[in-house]
Structure 1
Amino acid sequence: MGLSMTLPQIRIRAAQLLWFLCVVFALFLALGALTFALSANDANGLVSFVRDVAGWVDLGVFSRDNGIKEFTGDNADVKNALFNWGIGAIFWLLLGRILDRVVRG
């Protein structure tokens, strides 16, 4: 019994891996936005980690500081995080599905 895989099996595994990574990126953005919505303690290590990763996977385009839409006034941080990181999460999910379909062939 060998561990060799056929090309279609490799393509399926690669597509699954790409989809999984995109879902994880979307999850970090959603959780990061949730930490702002719930006014989580940013001194907490886990909250800080989630926000840092979300800031990395937003690619600068969906940044909560300088993203697609910038809110001002009351609760601007929460609105910016929910809107921009929410759009970013949707982007990663769409990209993941597209990549999954393309790689599978």
Structure 2
Amino acid sequence: MTLPQVRTRAAQLLWVLCVLFALFLALGALTFALSANADNGLVSFVRSVAGWVDLGVFSRDNGIKQFTGDNADVKNALFNWGIGAIFWLVLGRVLDRVVRP
């Protein structure tokens, strides 16, 4: 493989990884919006991965914006994890453009 091919593959890999992170955040927020059963293995897996990829900055519990009152958990998840998903998509596109030849 030539160097441009390696850089293209690396850029594709970075983009796919960032899209997956954004997808986990979006799905995690959706589980709160739909009041999914937290005891379900798939729901708890998605929420735990989303909690890991939110980097603490976009955390539901202590993120950019904290809502109080009725449905605060849903609002916090939708807002903070939604912003986190957008962050990952933008970062992925920037990394793709920087790495790609």
Q: TM-score band, normalised by the shorter chain?
A: over 0.9
Equivalent position amino acid for 2:56 in 1: G
**Whole-Å separation in 2 of the counterparts to 1:50 and 1:26:** 12
Q: CA RMSD in A?
A: 0.4
Instruction: Write out aligned runs for 1:77-92 (5 A).
Output: 77-92=73-88
Q: How many angstroms apart in 1 are the aligned matches of 2:83 and 2:54?
A: 9
- State yes or no: 1:99 paired with 2:95: yes
Are 1:64 and 2:60 counterparts?
yes
Give the alignment of 1:12-27 within 5 angstroms: 12-27=8-23
Structure 2 CA distance, aligned partners of 1:23 and 1:104?
17
Quote the offset at 1:52 in angstroms: 0.1
Question: Where has structure 1 moved over 6 Å in runs of 4 or more?
Answer: none
Count of residues paired in the alignment: 101
Deviations 1:73-105 (A, max 9, x none): 000000000000000000000000000000014
Shift of 1:22: 0.1
- The percentage of aligned residue pairs carrying the same residue is 89
Please list every run of 5 or more consecutive structure 2 residues that lacks an aligned counterpart in the other structure. none
TM-score (norm. length: structure 1) = 0.96
State the one-letter code of the partner of 1:50.
Answer: V
